Structure 1
């Protein structure tokens, strides 16, 4: 501050005081949730002290069996209140059971459930002592679960040095991350290198000795053979002459002439062979002596090293220095040749680090309460399970010792810290057309995902049936189209999951929505007739889908029939006025009066009134939009008007239209509120866009495009003439009031199918 005017110094002091006060006020306001700082700063950048603290911690975890008729009781498989860490907690904590049978219903005699014990974060030791009936000043060993993992015995045993302990890889990795490499590690690597080099040299020497012995044996065999030829009066073979030709220094330059006595030649060859054998025997003895000497030196060196290691171990136990070399360390080989030392912790080391082994392969790490402690646990099923929630982590090893189906292993997933709010700006980008007025929608119809890989139904071509896994194949196709089209928005029009094949519906829903969450693409969801045929109700499925990152889905008004009746608007490029209105409806399932009106249910009257009221509320903001406003509607089951196949259409009609038998006049209401395009799913092998004319007294009153998305999932039926799964794209130009559409098929996703302009200047384009 030297040399600065006093006025500047005073103003700088005021500024610092003001800044400190502002930070304090902000922290207080955030803690009281008056201001949510995470609404303005991404959670990854939000300082810890600004993030809301968790209101509870998890302090214990257990898996219990539930037998026979008791499985119907809500408390079956759940520990009693006095069990586990800290005993009875009263109103300050309790056991919570994850309501998922680990056997997924495959166990006839028993079911298995995982439960975790929670403790309120703000409870004091005095209150806990009071509940436990202890002295108010008693010390409480308050420890919470900070991390968890699951052992995989077959994989963990493959870690060098971990064959007997079989500690989870995560524990070994964490233990080594706290180590600092020292000079002793470098020396250890050098010694390991020397040992490996010595072993290679010894192997080469043995191989060389074996080769020499083999050569001598071959020569003896030749001599014996030629001796027999001599006795029979035959001349020596050419090969034998080459073997006995004087090529060594002792032979000089003397040549073997053809007229030489064969008997003398044979004697000379025998003498030469004997001399060579004597020489090789001497060399062999020298090598043997040298080898014995080296082995003796090696044994002495190993004994010395063992004594030194024992001495070092003793010193470590006395001094307990963290970064001293341990008694058990191994070399981790790198494919790049950069080897490193890996420490394998002892039982005492594992215990001191806070890790405790529970049942079924579960390990938990205990420690003092902190902001990022474990606060929630869930279970997903199948080797292809994914975790789409950003602040959750899926453990990559399945639980052991459970009665689950072999192809549907159970996996733990857990959350650290407080529950994230996925409705904040970080996870909820505003739907807005780009500066050129363009907006692209990808419709995804009938994924039919399962718990696990899923079974392919009617895969096409038929040659792909063998080894076909439905969900991975569908995800590959979907991912390819997402990467090609790069849509601004995705709309899923029902049957995201195939309920009968989804004993854990949550796992299937996560798989269906993960591709969009991973790419940070906003999406909307409507319900189909199969979604709720698994483990979750219709309301639960919609609630789960609506409360994930980048989801624009809503449960809709409670007083309107169905789940998922809502609307969304897409803002213009330079204003907040709606350039595009999107309506979503629940088309329910099957008729509630099948004897009177068999087949599928229909859009109800109060849904239609809600549509009219919603459109009326948007009129003012739509009028303020300076370009042509467009409206579209999406749902699952087609309208009865989809059967009007005498009218022009583009695309394929391979199966019968399974629309409701009863017509509730939804098509007219949609037309009245300005909807020009309706697109549905449900009939997998229909992918046409039909231009529907509605006439009165012979005069056309309205035109509307009625489109199908086409079935996209291998888990749903196909089978109509080798139908290939497909997806539909809507390319919207709000500057010109134009909508174009096309499809992409699994067998050739790079190719557009049936590209057509269906709306232009805000009006339905006449069929060309």
Structure 2
């Protein structure tokens, strides 16, 4: 029987800091991998993280003689740093001699892991929601600025997410103050043979499960949606929309994002439920951009392992800081060399060109992502 683990909790100063690692692809216990692991532990300690999140492709299992051992090396990083952690899985995690179900069971066994068992009857493995409890500080929070206001525009380049009206004030250590959703975005498209894309998508039963959990937490919060973040590996189709039609910040080192060609409605569900204020994906190693789309900030992490790129792109991590009693959050990037990027390069929307199509339909996907 698993021992009961302590809940995640906002600090006394009202902050909760998450470090997002993505596409670490542990596979060979060599000098490059050991350097990456040391960087990860260094970032966790420097940022004084409350939670580390792996957003998929934790390992590169294809052709690996012992993918379980590779996964254990990844797990040791936050464990040795003394930081709570959780993971979702990507397309490379279960290509080899290990299943997603086995990997999820492995992470649940670690003392500092915060993940939860899968809900029954839901597609994939690694679908769960974590709540962040109140600090018990009993302080009022600053009212949030309505989305689209002048303060939102001024704060955008600095990575401060705009917000809807303020939520309940800080204070009760026995009540959930925020929620974190983790979803299995799958691996490869089951319809690839019909030319319906290359990558998988979040399925309807997962979306229905998310909506039911969101409603449960909203009901428990007096009818007010909890400020929430969502983590998954493969970006939603809307990640292409936000780049093409909204102001974004950061880099996109390809013509498009490798999202599924099937839009299953996950983004629409988050808009309808009104709780998720930010999503965080991986998968595209050369992307670290973010943009606001219909009230939700869509963000890529910074790849933690620089693989498959034909240009210099220093690895690192994305850092996310939530504030209790607020729908606002801050985010920045910390690189391997210690550089902190708080203001990313602005990108003006240019629309969508026919040769790229709505999701890169006429392009060949670059290998290895």
Q: Quote the Cα distance in structure 2 between the aligned partners of 1:576 and 1:718.
A: 46
Compute the displacement of 1:750 (Å): 4.3
Match of 1:424 in 2: 3
2:305 to 713, 717, 732: 713
Compute the displacement of 1:755 (Å): 6.9
Higher relative contact order (CA 8 A, sep 6+): 2
Q: Quote the Cα distance in structure 2 between the aligned partners of 1:652 and 1:441.
A: 21
Residues 470 and 713 in structure 1, CA contact (< 8 A), matched pair in contact too: no
Q: Kindly indicate whether residue 45 of structure 2 is the aligned counterpart of residue 483 of structure 1.
A: yes
Q: Quote the Cα distance in structure 1 between the aligned partners of 2:309 and 2:63.
A: 17
1:684 to 282, 285, 292: 285
2:88 to 526, 545, 567: 526
Match of 2:140 in 1: none
2:209 to 606, 610, 628: 610
1:659 to 259, 263, 280: 259
Counterparts of residues 5-404 of structure 1 (less than 5 Å): none
Compute the displacement of 1:578 (Å): 1.1
Residues 133-172 of structure 1: CA deviation (Å, up to 9, x unaligned): xxxxxxxxxxxxxxxxxxxxxxxxxxxxxxxxxxxxxxxx
Residues 243-268 of structure 1: CA deviation (Å, up to 9, x unaligned): xxxxxxxxxxxxxxxxxxxxxxxxxx
Q: Quote the Cα distance in structure 2 between the aligned partners of 1:558 and 1:737.
A: 31
Q: Structure 2 length normalisation: TM-score?
A: 0.78
Residues 543 and 554 in structure 1, CA contact (< 8 A), matched pair in contact too: no
Counterparts of residues 696-711 of structure 1 (less than 5 Å): 703-711=295-303
Residues 218 and 226 in structure 2, CA contact (< 8 A), matched pair in contact too: no
Counterparts of residues 474-623 of structure 1 (less than 5 Å): 474-500=36-62, 502-574=64-136, 575-596=173-194, 597-623=196-222
- Name the SS of the counterpart of 2:340 in structure 1: strand
Judged with a 3 Å threshold, the aligned counterparts in structure 2 of structure 1 residues 501 and 722 are, in CA distance, closer, same or farther, namely farther
Q: Quote the Cα distance in structure 2 between the aligned partners of 1:653 and 1:570.
A: 32
- Name the SS of the counterpart of 1:691 in structure 2: strand
Larger-Rg structure: 1
2:268 to 647, 668, 673: 668
Judged with a 3 Å threshold, the aligned counterparts in structure 2 of structure 1 residues 551 and 570 are, in CA distance, closer, same or farther, namely same
Residues 217 and 226 in structure 2, CA contact (< 8 A), matched pair in contact too: no
Match of 1:364 in 2: none
Residues 52 and 83 in structure 2, CA contact (< 8 A), matched pair in contact too: yes
Q: Quote the Cα distance in structure 2 between the aligned partners of 1:550 and 1:755.
A: 32
Match of 2:358 in 1: none
Compute the displacement of 1:619 (Å): 1.9
Match of 2:343 in 1: 754
Match of 1:270 in 2: none
Where does the alignment leave 5 or more consecutive residues of structure 1 unmatched? Answer: 1-420, 454-468, 694-702, 757-768
1:731 to 308, 313, 321: 321
Q: Quote the Cα distance in structure 2 between the aligned partners of 1:476 and 1:517.
A: 13
Compute the displacement of 1:514 (Å): 0.6
Residues 494-553 of structure 1: CA deviation (Å, up to 9, x unaligned): 000011253201211111111211222111110110001222112111111122111122
Q: Quote the Cα distance in structure 1 between the aligned partners of 2:56 and 2:340.
A: 25
Count of residue correspondences: 304
Q: Structure 1 length normalisation: TM-score?
A: 0.38
Residues 54 and 86 in structure 2, CA contact (< 8 A), matched pair in contact too: yes
Q: Quote the Cα distance in structure 2 between the aligned partners of 1:476 and 1:519.
A: 10
Compute the displacement of 1:555 (Å): 3.8
Match of 1:439 in 2: 16
Q: Quote the Cα distance in structure 2 between the aligned partners of 1:744 and 1:589.
A: 28
Residues 577 and 624 in structure 1, CA contact (< 8 A), matched pair in contact too: no
Q: Quote the Cα distance in structure 2 between the aligned partners of 1:671 and 1:587.
A: 18
Q: Quote the Cα distance in structure 2 between the aligned partners of 1:613 and 1:623.
A: 16
Residues 716-763 of structure 1: CA deviation (Å, up to 9, x unaligned): 3232x31111200001111444200000112x314334379xxxxxxx
Where does the alignment leave 5 or more consecutive residues of structure 2 unmatched? Answer: 137-172, 346-369
Compute the displacement of 1:624 (Å): 8.4
Residues 41-65 of structure 1: CA deviation (Å, up to 9, x unaligned): xxxxxxxxxxxxxxxxxxxxxxxxx
Match of 1:151 in 2: none
Q: Kindly indicate whether residue 229 of structure 2 is the aligned counterpart of residue 632 of structure 1.
A: yes
Q: Quote the Cα distance in structure 2 between the aligned partners of 1:607 and 1:617.
A: 15
Match of 1:740 in 2: 330
**Which has more helix, going by share of residues?**
1
Runs of 4+ in 1 over 6 A off after TM superposition: none
Alignment root-mean-square deviation, CA: 1.9
Q: Quote the Cα distance in structure 2 between the aligned partners of 1:595 and 1:450.
A: 29
Judged with a 3 Å threshold, the aligned counterparts in structure 2 of structure 1 residues 605 and 489 are, in CA distance, closer, same or farther, namely same
